[in-house]
Amino acid sequence: MQLNRGRIGQILLISLSAAFMASGCASFAGRELPTHTNEQLLNPEKKIFASYDVKAFGPHGENSIAASKLDKEIQKVLSAGPLFAELKSGSAQGDYHYSFVFHNEGRPPEVIAFLNGFISGLTLGVIPAYGRDIFIMTVDVKQNDHVLKTYTYTDHMDSWIQLLLVFLTPFNWPPSVASSIIDNMIINFAHDFSNDVRSGVYLVQQNKN
């Protein structure tokens, strides 16, 4: 018995829907950096008044949406710690000004990533699709537009789309994993900056100026 085109289309749609439901996307943090928490930060002798600005870049250049998200993460993470009496987004003011610059460098290149996804789709998720996000965050610590010190942090996130990976998706949802990596990068900065303040690094730099 021959199937008409409509019947074939229905079968194909059902098959693709089943494959979609059986497939999942899960991400895993690279953990290239130490894992720090705000609880590990010591109370400073004098709480800091600071400001900051944010820029973010992706594969296609500057990304204002990513910058806005990073701004919220900075406020969430640093404002919850013990270091700051006040932390404002905007122009330079206070004891220090921080310039955050974030880069997301995707691997493999977009063309190869598309082909991977296309092949994975054709095999209904049996052949996995893979991608890596490389996160690079630099922070310039400034006073009066003079850079006292620059901090650089790099980490990555590996993401997979594969049949039956749906069971891991709720625990390894890509946006959540990315946020946890970025939060840890920010806390690493707070940890390093706090240690440098305590050790007198900034007093030496300020005296040089």
| CATH class of the domain at 47-208 | alpha beta
Domain boundaries, the chain: 47-208
What integer is the mean pLDDT of 76-86? 95
pLDDT tier, 29 (very low <50, low <70, confident <90, very high otherwise): very high
The residue among 85, 102, 209 whose CA lies nearest residue 148 is 209
pLDDT at 20: 46
Least confident piece of the model among 83-92, 94-103, 117-126, 190-199: 117-126
pLDDT at 123: 64
pLDDT at 80: 94
Write the CA distances from 48 to 84, 88, 96, 193, 201, integer angstroms. 5, 11, 8, 11, 16
pLDDT at 113: 65
Say yes or no to pLDDT of 190 above 70: yes
* CA–CA dist 116, 125 (Å, integer): 11
pTM for this entry: 0.82
pLDDT at 42: 86
Say yes or no to pLDDT of 138 above 90: yes
- What HEC string does the chain produce? CCCCHHHHHHHHHHHHHHHHHHEEEEEEECCCCCCCCHHHCCCCCCCEEEEEEEEEEECCEECHHHHHHHHHHHHHHHHCCCCEEEEEECCCCCCEEEEEEEEEEEECCHHHHHHHHHHHHHCCCCCCEEEEEEEEEEEEEEECCEEEEEEEEEEEEEEEEEECHHHCCCCCCHHHHHHHHHHHHHHHHHHHHHHHHHHCHHHHHHHHC
The residue among 207, 96, 102, 113 whose CA lies nearest residue 160 is 113
Residue-wise pLDDT tens digits, 37-80: 999 998 888 999 999 999 999 888 999 999 999 999 999 999 99
Say yes or no to pLDDT of 13 above 70: no
Say yes or no to pLDDT of 19 above 50: no
pLDDT at 121: 63
pLDDT at 177: 96
